[in-house]
Structure 1
Amino acid sequence: MQTITVTHSPRGYKLQEPITLSVPDIKNAADKKLQQYVIDSLSWKMSSLVTFTFKNTSTLEVAKHLLRHRTGSTATLYQYIYGIHRFCKWANAQPDQLIESCQDPDGDPKPKAIAKYSRLLDDFVGCLQAEGLAPGTVSNHVKGVKALFRANRMKLELPYNLSKRIVYSDRAPTPEELQRIIELADVREKVIVSMLALGGFRIGTLVKLQYRHVKRDLEKMNTPIHIHVEAEITKGKYHDYDAFIGQEAAEYLR
């Protein structure tokens, strides 16, 4: 194990208090990438989850699966690991203990043991619902537990589909509300609000934009400003796309 200190969030913001973590020694480039993915996903939200993840081979398999075979979303890893952490705390067991108890000496699944955890997962759902958690939150916790078993080559299911009913619906602000927000905002906030509204960016993509994305049109005083967004900074990392911001957002940006 080695000790590292995290001083900034993945977005480059300095943390109020540095976080000291014990992490496994790096053996190769793949290990380094996986380790950074776990740290970026968990350290600045709930640092204890970093130790929890590195302590269990089974949770590292979840991170490895998301990084190599899915989009590598830091938000998804946090969501899954937090759900696993809550279930394990409730069941009073570590992730590796759960997985090992469902495998025979050859590493093959034990159907009776998996059926037992399916019943436990149902009881866990009942406890979460009793806490008054929103249906979407309950569903996300369950997704994490299912992902733990799936990443370790087992299938854990509930005998029913969980409700994903949204308690509070999102909606776009009206033009009047948007104008009021801009009137009250400082210059930096005006840029953020106007680019989200006029450029159609996700928040996660907007925070990754750099000066080079607007440099050409901004310095030439061109309007609208053309922004080429690379696949690497989009949520799914599926493909590049182009966006344009109009006169109002361009003025705030200048």
Structure 2
Amino acid sequence: MIERKTQNIAIAIERKRNLTVDDLKKLNLPLQFQGQLVIIEKSLNNIRLKNPLSVELGKILATGEIGLADYIIHSCLNKYPNMIPYIFEHQSMVKMSRHFLRHCSGSYESCPVYALRLKKFADWLGYSPDLIIQDVKPVGAIPDPMKVQNHCGFLSDYLAALQDSDLKPGAVSNYIKAVKTFYRTNGVKKIELDEPLSRNVSHKDRAPKPEELSIMLDKAAIRESFVIAGIATGGFREGTFSKLKYRHVKDDLEAGQIPIHIHIEANITKGKYHDYDTFLNAEASHFLKLYLDQRRQGTQGMPPEIITDESPLIRNSHHADRVLGVSEKTIRKIVHDSAVEAKVAKKLPNSWMYSVRTHSLRKFFRTQLSSTKIDDEIIKYMMGKTIDTYEDVQSLGIETLRNLYAAAGLAIRPKTKVNRIEQLKEIIRAWGENPEEILSKDILFRSNQTVQTDEQIHSHQLSVLATELKQIIRKEVTEK
């Protein structure tokens, strides 16, 4: 009798990922170890939590990666501490968190926000995140095609529930995106809606007018005035602006250089994709000096402060005993309160949102610079946006960018006195030419030459405009 020989299938190898208590103790986190529990009583800013957290030690060690455990706790502790036990309790949530850390930008916002949105879906469906994944993958790591179809139906039903709850299209899209990301990062890649979602902007904000910003500055305190002027003339996102330190402005501020150059590192930008450069105009620089002087001298509720390179540019006003920075929420609240008090922002119909908000100040920055004919890619670069691959704005050099910014004349308050440069600009405009474009071309032609003082800048601009005006008149006479 002939028998067919069979080959034994080798057992799949596994790598043990060991994470120890000693590893956790090395983290710069407020963790307390009590038997098989990890207790967290304070935030990253050393502020006591309203409700202390307890997480099973074994759940944290099961992540197997010290960086991942640190990322989850660090992401959630300040804003969403209750999500920490929820994430560690479910391996499927840990996998999604690992995706943000290892394969995305590692943003501390993504982990808790997506976890909150996924929890909403899990609560709606009535099952835990792990049971949801176990249902669609009942055997091994391969999804069951029939189960996949069922879960596509769940997603469609969830979409209807979100829309019926009067959420705006953008919010609905974000909730659906979180659910799809959850499935995909857990090995289920075909959970989709039958049709694409609409993302029409239903409540659009607007760029405030210069006179409206002037009213906001008139009514605001020094600290709030710097926040408004800084974002409006620097084009910052609130997240980036809240993370600025004194070292970002130190050199130019102490040297009296206007506009102040600020180099933004990639790790404090949205997405952490690339670094960039922007500037603060004379108005923002003035408020910054007043604000820092106020902090050095101290106030009735705040003792004198020694400003160091690592001091936050905007200090938390609720803690007099220690120097802390502010959150994005604080920046948004400052702008919102100022806009509402000045009656610049109005509540939009059928919405909780207002017509002028923090993002509106970035719109002001873009709108004002665009009107001066500065190249659009340069404006996008100064706003921290990703520009065309073949546009190397950084190669222009800081001084060229500084001169372009200065030539644009970005300002909030109207000038009280028309100087000779402004007079020449008006005459050139009357002849049908654009003086800002003329100055921009001159700066790019001179490339990275350094102009040290305001007087030298004004003198050179006066010479360029005067020469151009002569050429315009000569050309007109010759043609006649």
**TM-score of the alignment, normalized to the shorter chain, above 0.5:** yes
- The aligned residue for residue 93 of structure 2 is 59
**1:144 and 2:178 are equivalent in the alignment:** yes
- Cα distance change of structure 1 residues 219 and 169 upon mapping to structure 2, 3 Å threshold: same
SS in 2 for 1:68: helix
**1:250 and 2:273 are equivalent in the alignment:** no
- The aligned residue for residue 132 of structure 1 is 166
Farther-moved stretch of structure 1 (220-229 vs 23-32):
23-32
- Cα distance change of structure 1 residues 29 and 132 upon mapping to structure 2, 3 Å threshold: closer
Mapping for residues 69-218 of structure 1, pairs under 5 Å: 69-155=103-189, 156-218=191-253
Structure with greater proportional strand content = 1
- Cα distance change of structure 1 residues 190 and 33 upon mapping to structure 2, 3 Å threshold: farther
Farther-moved stretch of structure 1 (91-100 vs 214-223):
214-223
- Cα distance change of structure 1 residues 202 and 133 upon mapping to structure 2, 3 Å threshold: same
The one-letter code of the counterpart of 1:226 is H
Would you say how many aligned residue pairs link Structure 1 and Structure 2?
252
- Aligned-residue sequence identity (percent) comes to 37
Residues 42 and 48, structure 2, Cα contact 8 Å, conserved in 1: yes
Matching residue within 43, 53, 64 for 1:20: 53
**Alpha-carbon distance in 2 for matches of 1:127, 1:49:** 23
Please state how far the C-alpha of 1:106 moved relative to its aligned partner: 2.2
Residues 6 and 18, structure 1, Cα contact 8 Å, conserved in 2: yes
**Alpha-carbon distance in 1 for matches of 2:143, 2:194:** 19
Structure of higher RCO (CA pairs closer than 8 Å, 6+ residues apart): 1
**Alpha-carbon distance in 2 for matches of 1:229, 1:16:** 32
**Alpha-carbon distance in 2 for matches of 1:23, 1:187:** 47
Residues 152 and 193, structure 2, Cα contact 8 Å, conserved in 1: yes
- Cα distance change of structure 1 residues 40 and 151 upon mapping to structure 2, 3 Å threshold: same
Farther-moved stretch of structure 1 (70-79 vs 214-223):
70-79
**Alpha-carbon distance in 2 for matches of 1:24, 1:110:** 33
- Cα distance change of structure 1 residues 36 and 6 upon mapping to structure 2, 3 Å threshold: farther
**1:234 and 2:269 are equivalent in the alignment:** yes
The one-letter code of the counterpart of 1:202 is R
- Cα distance change of structure 1 residues 28 and 50 upon mapping to structure 2, 3 Å threshold: closer
Residues 3 and 22, structure 1, Cα contact 8 Å, conserved in 2: yes
- Cα distance change of structure 1 residues 114 and 20 upon mapping to structure 2, 3 Å threshold: same
The one-letter code of the counterpart of 1:80 is Y
TM-score (norm. length: structure 1): 0.90
SS in 2 for 1:163: coil
- The aligned residue for residue 413 of structure 2 is none
The one-letter code of the counterpart of 2:218 is E
For the aligned residue pairs, the C-alpha RMSD in angstroms reads 2.3
- Cα distance change of structure 1 residues 16 and 58 upon mapping to structure 2, 3 Å threshold: closer
The one-letter code of the counterpart of 1:22 is V
SS in 2 for 1:72: coil
SS in 2 for 1:74: coil
**Alpha-carbon distance in 2 for matches of 1:28, 1:94:** 18
Residues 43 and 77, structure 2, Cα contact 8 Å, conserved in 1: no
SS in 2 for 1:144: helix
Please state how far the C-alpha of 1:228 moved relative to its aligned partner: 1.0
Structure 1 residue runs of 5 or longer lacking an equivalent are none
Structure 2 residue runs of 5 or longer lacking an equivalent are 1-35, 290-480
- Cα distance change of structure 1 residues 19 and 178 upon mapping to structure 2, 3 Å threshold: farther
